[in-house]
Amino acid sequence: MAKVTSEELGKEPIGKLLIKQAVPASIGILVMSLNVLVDSIFVGNWIGSIAIAAINVVLPVSFFIAALGMAIGIGGSSIISRALGANNHEKALKTFGNQITLTLLVTVTMVALGLYYVDNLIPAFGGKGSIFEPAKIYYTIILYGVPFLALCMMGNTVIRAEGKPKFAMIAMIIPSVGNLLMDYVFIYIFDWGMYGAAWATTVGYLLCFGYILYFFLSKNSELKISLSHFGLDPAILREISSLGFVTLARQAVTSITYLLMNNILFNLGGEPMVAVYAIIGRMLMFALFPVFGVTQGFLPIAGYNYGAAYYDRVKESIYTAIKYAALVATLVFVVLMLFPGEFAALFLSNRPGLSPEELATNQFVLQHTPFAMRLVFAATPIIALQLIGAAYFQAVGKAIPALLLTLTRQGFFFIPLILLLPKFFQETGVWLSFPIADVLATVVTGIYLGKEIKKELT
């Protein structure tokens, strides 16, 4: 692999640079999303639809703890990108060392708390009735691997900040491929059920951690830290925290959303309705991978050029990223509008000997998922502006507007909508909340980003 340096972020044409950054990011996210998708298909076909619902219940807790690593990663990586752009290499090294220390301290503490309160957390997130036991099995095993996942998510953002998207892509592919292989071995061959699904995922986390550790110890990384860099620096911690809190707040709101959605849908239709949402959730992760890839590719470009005071390049990167992301979002929209039933059917088992309860659940899911999916993705073509706009403020170190815009969709609009609309429209009100929140958040982001460009980048 050819040697790549962070300085290319300030020199190459923006369009070419964004493709170079976004394509590996998109591939990495695609493989991770396929992993979640195929993992769910394996679980649904080899264990049952209730098992999919059980995993969906666990995801908010494990993802929130792992998101602590991502928050620290993105917050610190914004500093690293700008420090490299300003040729302040020592600050970049100190920031990276602080990220590692902080990630370990926070995630290990959260895992200990998560294991202690396991019997309270699972029911709170919708793990009730027949969902509870498989969810507890999955949750307990997954949590042991979450600190490694957090370190991986943190390290991945730093690799991107160095301008090395291909290595970041490989780091995302390895755990996904490992998980799927272990799924086959542990679930299909060994017949370990939920234990197998959980251990397969945990092994994937460990493989990812091993690769990221190799990268930073090899000659491919510019960030060669020493023991002195691990000591916590209050000024750097404040900056990491203020910027990372944006990501953490987004994931916290996402976890709250899962909690509310699982409980609201359980009350509306029981376990089968939670299974419908589980499939929708997987599709939200999978189908939008190219849009998230463009966003990930945009972050180091905007951060580096802002740090170097190349404001014309920053502005160009915003417009180019929105254009690319909107194009791929529209393609995703068309596919999902045409084939929602076919995607839903992938998750359901057709093996012989299904119980009457499983057959009834499958029938319910097939009847309700296509309509729900069309509503959930109805505003997909316009979300590019919302995502890139919020990402810009995080990339350039403006924590407060980044936080407010990040929370706009789910915190300010979506949660109130899912609490209100189901009272009038039942399950349809739940699904309608998605596109309404997308439209409102996009309008707010567009207004705010337009003012920022006129004020700061012209």
Q: Residue 4 has what pLDDT? A: 47
Number of domains in the chain: 2
User: Same structural domain for residues 198 and 331?
Assistant: no
Q: Residue 36 has what pLDDT? A: 65
Q: Residue 34 has what pLDDT? A: 66
- Is the per-residue pLDDT at 330 higher than 90? yes
Query: How far apart are the C-alpha atoms of 301 and 316, rounded to whole Å?
Result: 10
Which one-letter DSSP state was computed for residue 12? S
Query: Domain for residue 49, yes or no?
Result: yes
Q: Is 123 exposed, middle or buried (0-12, 13-18, 19+ CB in 10 A)?
A: middle
- Which structural domain, as residue segments, surrounds residue 88? 11-232
**In contact, 284 and 257? CB cutoff 8 Å:** no
Q: Residue 2 has what pLDDT? A: 40
Confidence at 153, pLDDT banded by 50, 70, 90: confident
Last residue of a domain, one of 199, 232, 265: 232
Query: Domain for residue 254, yes or no?
Result: yes
User: Same structural domain for residues 208 and 59?
Assistant: yes
Query: How far apart are the C-alpha atoms of 103 and 107, rounded to whole Å?
Result: 6
Query: Is 0.85 surpassed by the pTM of this model?
Result: no
- Counting residues of the chain whose pLDDT is more than 70, the rounded percentage is 95
Q: Residue 432 has what pLDDT? A: 95
| Mean per-residue pLDDT over the chain, rounded | 85
Query: Domain for residue 6, yes or no?
Result: no
The residue among 100 and 272 whose pLDDT is bigger is: 100
- Is the per-residue pLDDT at 3 higher than 50? no
User: Same structural domain for residues 260 and 323?
Assistant: yes
User: Same structural domain for residues 121 and 264?
Assistant: no
Mean pLDDT of 394-400: 82
Confidence at 23, pLDDT banded by 50, 70, 90: confident
Q: Residue 9 has what pLDDT? A: 75
User: Same structural domain for residues 43 and 129?
Assistant: yes
Q: What is the pLDDT of residues 199-236, one digit of tens each?
A: 998 999 899 999 999 999 998 888 888 888 999 999 99
- Is the per-residue pLDDT at 449 higher than 80? yes
Last residue of a domain, one of 203, 232, 261: 232
